[in-house]
């Protein structure tokens, strides 16, 4: 379990902790990745926009409560790395643990990280459905 | 028509020009809002992730070419305003011009703006479908 005071020295560290916590359905570890002193925003695929730490925590609690466990693979990152704000654009393949290949859903995600007193934290996670054929028409990795 | 060298002195100016250009189907004005020296990212609702100026221009050209014209209203902005990077989270209602109320689609959008030599420009536009009932479960305007 990740303690509340975990310091993520890079946005990449925060992102790795975020997806690891989702795969392990570890709510405390997941919420430790989010910024606490900003208005955080979380959009699940096809879901409503959730804002605020308590609301975001509740939506993930409900997801984990279902007992479904996810396996997420990311690809084709586009990164804008700034001094205080970093944006990651990712293509994701999300599948249920033990599920068949047909149950894999392609998503696109925009993750925004901010640097504060406790290192880099997640500010915005916006994930949405992508076409099944190709999550990205023109894959590139830059920056 | 907005000239290429238009300077947007705030992210809000860039955002207003962006949605105005969509409503007028003005491709040159639309593309003038995007950053040119960064790897831009554009995700249409349910569509693939497009990266790069030329690809983003082409996807909007095709949309405008259909002849459909949109009316977009934004609400419930959540803004993280930084010195060099600003993030806007918006709820959108998009309808076809002259269309009925039933043809209105609720969306959520994440727009990332960067400040460069020519003022603020759009770096990321990520729009995706939201539930019809409420685009946001907990509307707030902060910052």
Mean pLDDT throughout A87-107? Answer: 87
Which residues of A fall within a CB distance of 8 Å from B38? 80
Longest CA–CA separation in chain A, Å: 43
Class of domain A11-129: alpha beta
Q: Which residues of A touch B (CB under 8 A)?
A: 38-39, 41, 43, 45-52, 55, 76, 78, 80, 82-85, 87, 89, 91, 108, 110, 112, 114, 123-124, 126, 128-131, 134-138, 140, 142-143
Which residues of B fall within a CB distance of 8 Å from A126? 89, 108, 110, 126, 128
Q: Residue A82: which residues within 8 A CB-CB, separation 6 or more?
A: B82, B84, B85
Measured distance CA(B126)–CA(A108) in Å, rounded: 9
**Would the ipTM clear 0.85, i.e. be above it?**
yes
Q: Which of B83, B91, B123 sits opposite A80 (nearest CB)?
A: B123
Strand B85-96 and strand B105-116: the pairing is: antiparallel
Q: How do residues B62-80 score in pLDDT, each as one tens digit?
A: 999 999 899 999 999 999 9
Distance from CA of A27 to the nearest CA of B (A): 21
Instruction: Please give the structure tokens belonging to residue B62.
Output: 């095709």
Q: What is the pLDDT of residue A133?
A: 65
Which residues of B fall within a CB distance of 8 Å from A124? 80, 87, 89, 110
Residue B98 has pLDDT above 90, yes or no: no
Q: Which of B43, B78, B137 sits opposite A48 (nearest CB)?
A: B137
* A80–B48 C-beta distance less than 8 A: no
Q: How do residues A1-55 score in pLDDT, each as one tens digit?
A: 545 578 999 999 999 999 999 999 999 999 999 998 779 999 999 999 999 999 9
Measured distance CA(A70)–CA(A90) in Å, rounded: 17
Q: What is the pLDDT of residue B101?
A: 63
Q: How do residues B38-70 score in pLDDT, each as one tens digit?
A: 799 999 999 999 999 999 999 999 999 999 899
Percent of chain B with pLDDT over 70: 87
Which residues of A fall within a CB distance of 8 Å from B81? none
SS3 content of chain B, % helix, strand, coil (to 5): 25, 40, 35
Phi, psi of B35 (to 5 degrees): -65, 140
Distance from CA of B21 to the nearest CA of A (A): 23
- In B, minimum Cα distance to A54 occurs at B138
Percent of chain A with pLDDT over 70: 87
Closest Cα partner for A120 from A32, A1, A27? A32
Distance from CA of A133 to the nearest CA of B (A): 9
Q: What is the pLDDT of residue A139?
A: 44
């Amino acid at each position: 379990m990740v303690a509340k005071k975990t310091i993520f020295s890079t946005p990449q560290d925060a992102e790795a902790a975020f997806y690891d916590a989702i795969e392990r359905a570890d709510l405390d570890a997941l919420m430790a990745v989010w910024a606490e002193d900003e208005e955080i925003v979380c959009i699940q695929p096809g879901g409503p926009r959730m804002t605020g730490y308590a609301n975001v925590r509740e939506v993930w609690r409900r997801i984990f409560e279902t007992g479904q466990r996810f396996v997420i693979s990311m690809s084709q990152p586009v990164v804008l790395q700034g001094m205080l704000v970093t944006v990651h654009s990712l293509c994701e393949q999300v599948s249920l643990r033990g599920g068949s290949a047909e149950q894999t859903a392609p998503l696109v995600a925009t993750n925004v990280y901010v640097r504060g007193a406790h290192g880099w934290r997640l500010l915005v996670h916006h994930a949405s459905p992508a076409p099944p054929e190709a999550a990205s028409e023109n894959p590139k990795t830059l920056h």
